[in-house]
Amino acid sequence: MGTAIQIEGLSYSYHDGTQALNDLRLTIQEGESVGLIGPNGAGKSTFLLHLNGSISNTAGNTVMIHGLPVIRRNLKEIRRLVGIVFQDPEDQLFSPSVFEDVAFGPLNLGYSGEELHARVHRALSAVGIPGHLEHHLAHHLSFGEKRRVAIATVLAMDAQILALDEPSSNLDPEGRRTLIDLLKGLPHTKLIATHDLEMALEICERVVLLDKGRVVADGPTECLLQDADLMRSHRLEVPLSLKLGRRRLVEAGVQD
């Protein structure tokens, strides 16, 4: 298993001088599912945008994707490898039909004809969007369907890494469950920025806690999320399922 993402000393400041990322260092292996957690303003979304060069860094080799530095000459391949799924799917869906939204990336890679249609159909099938919806306007779909179509747009490009920004936000319980089951079934390397810590528990074997643009904790999901002092010190809470699990152990007389 190789290295999917290698970050060494990544720093970034907004135009007003606010430091968003500060000497961030992180390694993610191929096939890992990693939750990126932290309070509002921790730098999670800004970090994700560095992965495919949507935000450029000045050092050139501080972000590596499958061994390729995220620099101008590599951006076409980097953006094929890294599929970013935005928090609001309407930022990602802009074509007259679902089919055209999903086909947009492969068209720009030079695919056409039967191969293009096959890629679109495979991607839509992988996210559970039935064929009769492919000629619909994406904005007429439910929010959960829009989210899954947004994921299909990157799957159609054979992305190796899925970088998702708050994927469960604004979903109803059924849509959230459908999304969790979908993501659990995808074999891709996944980096999921989320405040939904229960979802992180289900999908991610590892979480990285980011605050003030730095990695402040990195470890197995359940171990890290049940650390009440750590969570509290970074304006987070232990997930309810872990609190209830611990309470049941205490009530049963089982020691931690």
pLDDT digits (tens, 9 = 90+) for 105-115: 999 989 999 99
Mean pLDDT of the region 173-200: 97
Residue 252 has pLDDT above 60, yes or no: no
**Order of strands, edge to edge, in the sheet holding 214-220?**
82-85, 161-165, 189-193, 33-37, 206-211, 214-220
User: What are the pLDDT digits (tens) for 141-156?
Assistant: 999 999 999 999 999 9
Q: Which residue has the tokens 């096959």?
A: 118
Quote the mean pLDDT of the chain: 92
| CA triple 3-153-209, angle to 5 deg | 45
What pLDDT is attached to residue 139?
85
Q: What is the pTM of this model?
A: 0.92
Domain 3-88+159-251 classification at class level: alpha beta
Mean pLDDT of the region 240-250: 72
